[in-house]
Amino acid sequence: MLKGKTALVTGSTSGIGLGVAEALAEARCNIVINGFGDAAEIEALRGRLEKTHGVKARYDGADMSKPAAIEAMIKKAVSEFGAVDILVNNAGIQHVAPVDEFPPDKWDAIIAINLVSNFHTIRHALPGMKKKGWGRIINIASAHALVASPFKSAYVAAKHGVAGLTKTVALEVAQQGITVNAICPAYVLTPLVEKQIPDTAKARGITEQQVMTDVLLAAQPTKKFVTIEQVAGLAMYLASEQAASVTGAILSIDGGWTAQ
Ligand code: NAD
């Protein structure tokens, strides 16, 4: 059912975005991947997606903190593939520090990449979706779209913002065959999480092992990390026809964290 559609996944050179891009390619969607990394590795990834799944895969290195680059990326995808049918807003960064020590440039970068980029991708992708009368917008938010943790003020503010944006756009396009939803994972062991372990240890004055057990998994009743495949599975459901009535939903995939 998704065969021949075009999907654009921001921040798909790593972690969750890569897993979602792989799953969409497996469903025979043409793919635009985006994100940073080693050029040769990204080219190998692009080639692998094409070869393994028999789809077209393109790479766009647009920086999600740059509105003009976002506009150019969406325009290029639309001119090449006709539309962006499935937009997955996934690119994200993190910084952990007490709010009164939070570097303002880090705050600005987190808000720009984790929240404002979603506004720009959506506003440029929507006209093509409206023309086709079909579209799927899937925002990778976080459990931090629903609850807070100390030392993550910018991230929590951005992700709560993503939840609000998701609901608002869902209402605006509800009668046009376009759904807009947010996925809210708890901790998934990706480079984004691995990188924050030393800073969290420093901020809380504990060891890195204690960060894993006493901080990251403390609030997850399952005591297990969520997997990339589980998040990709939920994204694939949201992209499907069966999910046509699921819109404006803020969907937790968090091992019970936000049930507490
Ligand atoms: P990751 O660090 O593995 O991947 C992030 C991706 O975003 C990479 O491809 C990176 O190159 C890209 N990126 C970063 N800055 C960018 C920029 N300015 N422009 C374009 N691309 C950029 O992280 P991840 O854990 O896979 O996170 C993906 C998303 O999932 C993020 O929005 C994150 O907030 C969210 N999330 C992650 C977890 C988790 O525990 N890992 C939990 C909840 C939500």
Q: How far is the CA of 131 from the centre of ligand 1 (A)?
A: 30
Task: Note down the domain range covering 40.
Answer: 6-186+223-259
Q: How far is the CA of 246 from the centre of ligand 1 (A)?
A: 24
Pocket lining for ligand 1, CB < 6 angstroms: 10-17, 34-37, 63-65, 90-93, 113-114, 140, 142, 185, 187-188, 190-193
Number of domains in the chain: 1
Full pLDDT tens readout for the chain, 260 residues: 899 999 999 999 999 999 999 999 999 999 999 999 999 999 999 999 999 999 999 999 999 999 999 999 999 999 999 999 999 999 999 999 999 999 999 999 999 999 999 999 999 999 999 999 999 999 999 999 999 999 999 999 999 999 999 999 999 999 999 999 999 999 999 988 898 899 889 989 999 989 988 989 998 999 999 999 999 999 999 999 999 999 999 999 999 999 99
Q: Is residue 162 part of a domain?
A: yes
Q: How far is the CA of 175 from the centre of ligand 1 (A)?
A: 31
Q: Is residue 210 part of a domain?
A: no
**Which H or E element spans position 182?**
strand 178-185
| CA–CA separation, 160 and 127 (whole Å) | 25
155 belongs to the catalytic site: yes
> In CATH, what number is assigned to the domain containing residue 162?
3.40.50.720
If one residue of 88, 116, 118, 192 were mutated to test the ligand 1 pocket, choosing by the most ligand atoms within 8 A of its CB, it would be 192
- Return the closest-CA partner of residue 162 out of 114, 95, 121, 96: 114
DSSP, collapsed to helix, strand or coil, labels residue 91 as: coil
- List the catalytic residue out of 59, 155, 187, 237: 155
Angle between helix axes 39-53 and 15-26 (nearest 10 degrees) is 30
Q: Is residue 101 part of a domain?
A: yes
Handedness of CA 248, 109, 129, 173 (dihedral sign): positive
Q: Is residue 234 part of a domain?
A: yes
Q: Is residue 205 part of a domain?
A: no
Q: How far is the CA of 184 from the centre of ligand 1 (A)?
A: 13
| Entry pTM | 0.96
pLDDT, residue 1, reads 85
